[in-house]
Amino acid sequence: MKTLAILKHPGAPADEVGRTDDPSPGARWATLRGVFSDDVDADLSRLADDPKFPHRDAARRAARFRAEGDVADLVAIVDDAHPCGMTDVIFAMAGATRPWLNWVPMPAEAIANVANQVGRSRAEGEQVQLGALFVSAAEPPSAMVACQRVAGPVEVEIGDFPQPDIRTPVRDVRYRVWRYDGETPVPAVPAPAPDAVRVLHEVANEPWPSLLSGYVQAEPLGKLPLDGLLGLLSHLPGPPETARWQQLATTTPTYWYRLLQPWVCLGILHHAADEPWLVSTRREVLMDLAFGVEDWVSDAALFALVTVAHREPEQRAEVRALVRARLDAAMAAPRLVTIGESLARLMLITPGCTAGDRSAAESVLAAAEDEEPAPPKKKKRWWRH
């Protein structure tokens, strides 16, 4: 798969598509923003109507995907008979502003909402301290830890662990990053080395233009030892000290902890890359993480598998079945699954997504739109799920 390239002019012939001196996919996309307008749909329409543009069909497919959401149109761009840097660009345009294709969904947990509220209040100069929190049902361990990273040490009282117990893996797994000490989630792997945190900060400082360019951008993470990658997933190091993350810390400080895990899972795709996929460590690790305890790590690992499916057609059938199986497990739970909406959005961008898959995913999204968050109960420091 080629990396993202830059078009000198939107209507330039294919032989004028070249690479920039900066190998960073993020830098290339930044350059593209100076070539195209802020209206992606208008740009795609213009390219699709330009008789001199050599990838008019790809532009039409991208526009249709944005209008109708059929992943077959997105896959057709990847599978272009004459792929080049411009088809990578059109793929990124097709997914612009779309969950998982261009950005990671925001945390949906009540405890994350509380932490974000605390972070915003502190950014406005308020002296906020949480004495205790109450959630009526257990929430994913990453959300619990992210809350404490933002709000500081806080006692969390959990009202119930409804079935299926969030502490129990969806199926038997070998690789896991969380375990429970009673009601408390704790990392099941050692903490990452400082060098691993440094590499994460360098790679994950900017969003990906598309999941394809994100895969390329995550390559430095793949050079880390597997234990280091797994450690990043559960020990949740803080964000880089950059202007971008300092700004986000004043609005949605938990978002960094939600974002870093998909980056790490993209890095796992580069681990022991010489191993054939079907017998590879990276495949086994990602599958185990996807079907481990219910957590942000679950959909992060599935996202990496979906990236594989876009890059490697021969893996699409298996990945589609895995994503549907994980979505089915969430749908079968007689309780709220906070990552359910995110899993549904992954299903909709998985190559090979069938009419039945799409119907199931859309039913989850429709149900999520109908739900209203429960109000705080009793004191402000208490929050019901």
Over the chain (385 residues), the average pLDDT of each successive run of 10 is: 29 29 42 65 96 95 97 96 90 95 95 94 87 91 96 91 97 97 96 98 91 96 98 97 91 96 98 97 98 98 98 98 98 97 98 98 92 41 31
Q: How far, rounded to the nearest angstrom, does the alpha carbon of residue 332 sit from its chain's CA centroid?
A: 23
Distance CA 54, CA 51 (A): 8
* C-beta separation of 96 from 36 below 8 A: no
pLDDT for position 306: 98
Residue 238's region, left for phi above 0, alpha for psi from -120 to 50, else beta, is beta
Q: How far, rounded to the nearest angstrom, does the alpha carbon of residue 309 sit from its chain's CA centroid?
A: 15
Count CA atoms closer than 13 A to 206's CA, side-chain side. Answer: 13
Q: Which two tokens stand for residue 332?
A: 């079968």
pLDDT for position 96: 94
Give residues with Cβ within 8 angstroms of 263, minimum separation 6. 200, 203, 204, 214, 218, 221
Residues 213, 303, 261, 106: what is their CA dihedral angle, to the nearest 10 degrees? 100
What are the residues facing 179 on neighbouring strands? 186
- Rounded to two decimals, the pTM is 0.88
* C-beta separation of 170 from 193 below 8 A: no
- Name the residue ranges covered by the structural domains of the chain: 6-94, 101-385
Count CA atoms closer than 13 A to 71's CA, side-chain side. Answer: 22
Q: Which two tokens stand for residue 75?
A: 């896959």
Distance CA 92, CA 44 (A): 11
pLDDT for position 201: 97
pLDDT for position 35: 53
Which DSSP letter does residue 103 get? Answer: B
